[in-house]
Amino acid sequence: MALRQVLIDGDETLRKKSREITNFDDRLQTLIDDMFETMYASNGIGLAAPQVGVLRRLFVMDLHDGNEPIVAINPQIMDAKGTQTYQECCLSIPGRYGDVERPAELVLRAYDRNGEPFEIKASELTAVCISHENDHLDGILFKDKVKGELLSQ
């Protein structure tokens, strides 16, 4: 495993749309392992592939809430319902945070690292994080959606 460099806001790669993953090969497994290592080293709870310069539809998450870490490949968000506002931050926008409105509930449909499909019904912080990471795959950053001001730490 190896740490990858996290791209910072201003890098054009963060604004590009990621492509679907079709090969569940060794290279993908290494990328996933590296993304977890990079996320943990940065004390993050989620990291999307474009943040490490790979324009592929993949994100990893670990909320440290007793649930298993999540690997979501080619994710789709279904049945988004309601709204919740949460103060978000992002490893690609260091030191900044702000309130973002997200779905209160959603269903994540994706493939795991072995290419097996799965579905997770999510709410609260899990739904926030899924929505935030999924946005990265379409070149959207949380600061685009901040209600009011983008604050500094």
Q: Rounded to the nearest whole angstrom, what is the least distance from the CB of residue 151 to Ni ion in the complex?
A: 16
Q: Rounded to the nearest whole angstrom, what is the least distance from the CB of residue 114 to Ni ion in the complex?
A: 25
Using CA atoms, how far apart are residues 72 and 18, in angstroms rounded to an integer?
13
90 part of the interface to Ni ion, by CB under 5 A = yes
Give catalytic status of residue 88 as yes or no: no
Nearer to Ni ion, 39 or 90 (CB): 90
Q: Rounded to the nearest whole angstrom, what is the least distance from the CB of residue 90 to Ni ion in the complex?
A: 3
Task: Say which of 12, 68, 101, 133 is annotated catalytic.
Answer: 133
Q: DSSP letter for 21, please.
A: P
Nearer to Ni ion, 24 or 55 (CB): 55
Residue facing Ni ion at closest CB distance: 90
Of the candidate spans 16-24, 84-92, 123-131, 145-153, the one that interacts with Ni ion by CB under 5 A turns out to be 84-92
Of the candidate spans 52-60, 62-70, 82-90, 105-113, the one that interacts with Ni ion by CB under 5 A turns out to be 82-90
Nearer to Ni ion, 77 or 90 (CB): 90
What residue type is assigned to position 134 of the chain? Answer: N
Write the DSSP assignment of the chain as a string of letters: ----PPP-TT-GGGGSPPBPP---SHHHHHHHHHHHHHHHHTT-SEEEGGGGT--BSEEEE---SSSPPEEEEEEEEEEEES-EEEEE--TTSTTEEEEEEE-SEEEEEEE-TTS-EEEEEEEHHHHHHHHHHHHHTTT--GGGGEEEEEEE-
Nearer to Ni ion, 21 or 90 (CB): 90
Contact residues: Ni ion, CB under 5 A: 90
Active site residues: 133
